[in-house]
Chain A
Amino acid sequence: MAKVLMKGNEAVAEAAIRAGCRLYFAYPITPQSELIEYMAKMMPTVNGCFLQAESEVAAINMVYGAGGAGKRVMTSSSSPGISLKQEGISYCAGAEIPCVIVNVQRGGPGLGDIQPGQADYFQAVKGGGHGDYQLIVLAPSSVQEFADMASDAFDLADKYRNPVLILADGMLGQMMEPVEFKPKKTDEEIAILGEQHNSWCICPNQDGDKKHHHEINSLEIDPLVLEKHVIKLYEKYAIVEKNEIRYEEYNVSDDNEVLCVSFGTASRIVKSAIDELKGKGKSVGLIRPITLWPYPYEQIKAAIGPKVKKVYVFELNMGQMVDDVKIAVNGKVPVDFFGKVGGIVFTPAEVEEKLEKCF
Chain B
Amino acid sequence: MKTEIICAGFGGQGVLTIGKFLAQAGMAEGKHVSWLPSYGPEMRGGTANVMTVVSGEPIASPIVSYPDVLIALNQPSLDKFGPSVRKDGVIIIDADMCPHGCKRDDVVKITAPMSSLAKEIGNIMVLNMVALGVLIGKTGLVKYETIEADLNKYMKAKNPDLLALNLSAIKKGMELAK
Residues of A within 8 A of B (CB): 3, 5, 30-31, 114-115, 170-171, 174-178, 265, 268-269, 271-275, 345, 347-350
Contact = CB atoms under 8 A, between A and B. Distances in A.
16 contacts: A31-B39, A170-B39, A175-B34, A176-B23, A177-B33, A177-B62, A265-B62, A268-B61, A269-B60, A269-B61, A271-B61, A272-B63, A347-B63, A348-B65, A349-B66, A350-B65
Given A3-B27, A5-B24, A174 B37 contact: yes
B33 A5 contact: yes
B39 A114 contact: yes
Nearest to A345: B63
Interface string B18-41: 001001100100001111110110
Contacts of A178: 27, 32-33
B66 A5 contact: no
Interface string B29-59: 0001111110110000000000000000001
B90 to A, nearest CB: 20
A265 B61 CA distance: 8
Contacts of B33: 5, 177-178
B27 A347 contact: no
B63 A271 contact: no
Nearest to A343: B40
A171 B27 contact: no
Given A272-B60, A348-B61, A349-B66, A175 B36 contact: yes
| Interface band, chain B | 10 to 19
B65 A174 contact: no
Contacts of A176: 20, 23, 34-35
Contacts of B39: 30-31, 114, 170, 174
Given A175-B35, A348-B61, 6 more contacts: A5-B20, A170-B39, A174-B37, A177-B33, A269-B60, A271-B61
Nearest to B61: A272
Closest 10 CB pairs of A and B: A272-B61, A271-B60, A349-B65, A176-B35, A272-B60, A347-B65, A175-B36, A269-B61, A178-B27, A348-B61
B40 A114 contact: yes
Contacts of A5: 20, 23-24, 27, 33, 35
Contacts of B62: 171, 175, 177, 265, 268
Interface of B: 20, 23-24, 27, 32-37, 39-40, 59-63, 65-66
Nearest to A3: B27
Nearest to A269: B61
A121 to B, nearest CB: 20
Contacts of B37: 174-175
Nearest to B27: A178
Contacts of B34: 175-177
B61 A177 contact: no
Nearest to A271: B60
A203 to B, nearest CB: 43
Contacts of A177: 33-35, 59, 62
A273 B23 CA distance: 23
A176 B24 CA distance: 10
B54 to A, nearest CB: 11
Contacts of B35: 5, 175-177
A115 B36 CA distance: 12
A272 B64 CA distance: 10
Contacts of A269: 60-61, 63
Nearest to A273: B61
Contacts of A348: 60-61, 63, 65
Given A5-B24, A176-B23, A275 B60 contact: yes
Contacts of A345: 63
Nearest to B35: A176
B58 to A, nearest CB: 9
A178 B34 CA distance: 8
B5 to A, nearest CB: 14
A176 B65 CA distance: 19
Contacts of B60: 268-269, 271-272, 274-275, 348
A347 B4 CA distance: 14
Contacts of B24: 5
A115 B38 CA distance: 9
**A272, A345, A348, most chain B CB atoms within 10 A:** A272
A236 to B, nearest CB: 36
A66 B61 CA distance: 38
Contact of A115 (B20, B40, B61): B40
B61 to A, nearest CB: 4
